Amino acid sequence: GEDVEQSLFLSVREGDSSVINCTYTDSSSTYLYWYKQEPGAGLQLLTYIFSNMDMKQDQRLTVLLNKKDKHLSLRIADTQTGDSAIYFCAETPPGGATNKLIFGTGTLLAVQP
Amino acid sequence: DGGITQSPKYLFRKEGQNVTLSCEQNLNHDAMYWYRQDPGQGLRLIYYSQIVNDFQKGDIAEGYSVSREKKESFPLTVTSAQKNPTAFYLCASTDRGRTVYGYTFGSGTRLTVV
């Protein structure tokens, strides 16, 4: 199957850590991505992880990949009000001559001051 | 600066009208994509094109049409056959040889049927 699932909503207080979760179904996916969408705008690539990695850290962002459980997470440390947005995970399916990304449903992160 | 430009930002369509959404990129990317975004449903692929003069249907192509006469341009026409066209439309592009960097997105067009 090609379903990528995310919870719809997450609310955190400013300064706390946020953890956004994603479950994907194709264990052969080569790359997995996290995108951020601010209101009324397009998507911006935040970070990505290759499928042979377990973890990737980039400043306040930590990506964890559990291939056995097909679970991807994005942790944002010291969450700020500017982090309020919709976050999408995405995967590149294998055999990708088409290079099509498959996107999750998106998680709305609300940061309370 | 290189990027993708979508126009217009807001578009209003009357029942029975066809409308065309513009997408232009100056990134020299081969592949271009159109997505539709509805609340709570994520992004759904409408059409995509890997090279000039070629394009394929995505998951929800009915009621839409595209053309790819130039590498830089991938316009989307929303026809009167699309029964529920009100949505946010996103265009994206990528270099086919470098998918590891994901897609570059435009800023979107919000289409409303009045």
From chain B, the residues in CB contact with A99 under 8 A are 31, 50, 94, 96, 99
**Is B102 in Cβ contact with A42 (below 8 Å)?**
no
What is the model's pLDDT at position B100?
A: 66
Q: Which of B40, B48, B108 sits opposite A100 (nearest CB)?
A: B48
Whole-number Å distance between alpha carbons of B77 and B2: 25
What is the model's pLDDT at position A94?
A: 67
Query: Is residue B97 pLDDT above 70, yes or no?
Result: no
CA distance, residue B110 to nearest chain A CA (Å)? 8
CA distance, residue A103 to nearest chain B CA (Å)? 6
Query: Is residue A2 pLDDT above 90, yes or no?
Result: no
**Cβ contact A6:A105 at 8 Å:** yes
Predicted confidence (pLDDT) per residue in B1-41, tens digit: 679 999 999 999 898 899 999 999 999 999 999 999 998 77
Predicted confidence (pLDDT) per residue in A11-70, tens digit: 999 999 999 999 987 777 778 999 999 988 999 999 999 888 999 999 999 999 999 999
Is the bond preceding A39 in cis, omega lying within 30 degrees of 0?
no
Query: Is residue A95 pLDDT above 70, yes or no?
Result: no
**Is B100 in Cβ contact with A48 (below 8 Å)?**
yes
Q: Which of A2-11, A58-67, B74-83, B94-103 has the lowest mean pLDDT?
A: B94-103
CA distance, residue A22 to nearest chain B CA (Å)? 13
What is the model's pLDDT at position A44?
A: 94
Structure-block tokens of residue A29: 């996916």
Q: Which of B48, B58, B99 sits opposite A31 (nearest CB)?
A: B99
Q: List CB contacts of A62: < 8 A, sequence separation 6 or more.
A: A55, A56, A74, A75, A77
Nearest CA in chain B to A37: B107
Whole-number Å distance between alpha carbons of B89 and B20: 11
Tell the residue number behind the tokens 């960097």, with chain if given. Answer: B101
Query: Is residue A3 pLDDT above 60, yes or no?
Result: yes
What is the model's pLDDT at position A72?
A: 95
Residue with more model confidence, A25 or B99: A25
pLDDT (mean) for A73-100: 86
From chain A, the residues in CB contact with B35 under 8 A are 103
Q: List CB contacts of A7: < 8 A, sequence separation 6 or more.
A: A20, A21, A107
Residue A88's alpha-carbon distances to A108, B25, B78, in angstroms, are 9, 23, 25
Query: Is residue A1 pLDDT above 50, yes or no?
Result: no
Query: Is residue B64 pLDDT above 90, yes or no?
Result: yes
Whole-number Å distance between alpha carbons of B10 and B109: 6
Whole-number Å distance between alpha carbons of A111 and A43: 19
